[in-house]
Amino acid sequence: MEEFRRFVAYDYGRLPELTKRHLSWYEDNRERDTAIVSLILGSGLRVNEVATLTLTDIDWDSKRVLVDRKGEKMQSVPFSIRSKLDLEEYMRIRNSRYQPLASETALFLTKGGKPMTKNAMQKMVNKYSHAYGKPLSVHKLRHTFGTQLYKTKKDLRLVQDILGHSDPKTTTLYTHIGNDEQNNAVDEMDSFE
């Protein structure tokens, strides 16, 4: 999924079919959109969790974000170094480009300096995924994070905790094993003869 993040960050703006208006919109929102995609891919946050983030929810030193999980429970969730870099790039331009009121604490903003909604984030990801040529949704990005985390750590409880699942059965969706992994595992059995 790093390829999709890179597409949002750099390649979308190079598409020859973009109109001047679409290119201008992309250039105005590139850092924000990259930060949103990167944060979901680097933390597994739900879209509503990202949409409700405030400036004070980010702990830059520990690379953690405080989110309001389902069931009205607050949880500190880690995010990746790549996400931190993309968030920092967005924060450098946030106030000058989006010009929020001094009282606006929402992390992600629209052109008018207002909080970006969950629906706007979903539409944004859908727009990029359509141009990317793969049907991706915000939930698919979250699922990708969960799957990659499980493949890396093989720790279902860790995945459950980071994704904020209350039911372990939900987390087992991220443990699916592909055909290649199955074939390799069976082939390795030949070495036990």
Tokens, residue 11 = 């390649």
Q: Please give the positions annotated as active site.
A: 46, 70, 139, 142, 165, 174
**Coil, strand or helix at 76:** strand
Write the pLDDT tens digit of every residue in 117-150. Answer: 999 999 999 999 999 999 999 999 988 888 888 8
Write the pLDDT tens digit of every residue in 18-56. Answer: 999 999 999 999 999 999 999 999 999 999 999 999 999
Closest CA to 89 of 22, 148, 5: 5
Looking at the structure, give the CATH architecture of the domain made up of residues 2-136: Orthogonal Bundle (1.10)
Phi, psi angles (nearest 5°) of residue 26: -60, -50
First CA to last CA distance, the chain? 39
Which residue shows structure tokens 């706007």? 120
C-alpha angle with apex 94: 64 to 9, nearest 5 degrees? Answer: 75
Domain boundaries, the chain: 2-136
Whole-structure pTM value: 0.87
- Whether 94 contacts 82, CB under 8 Å: no
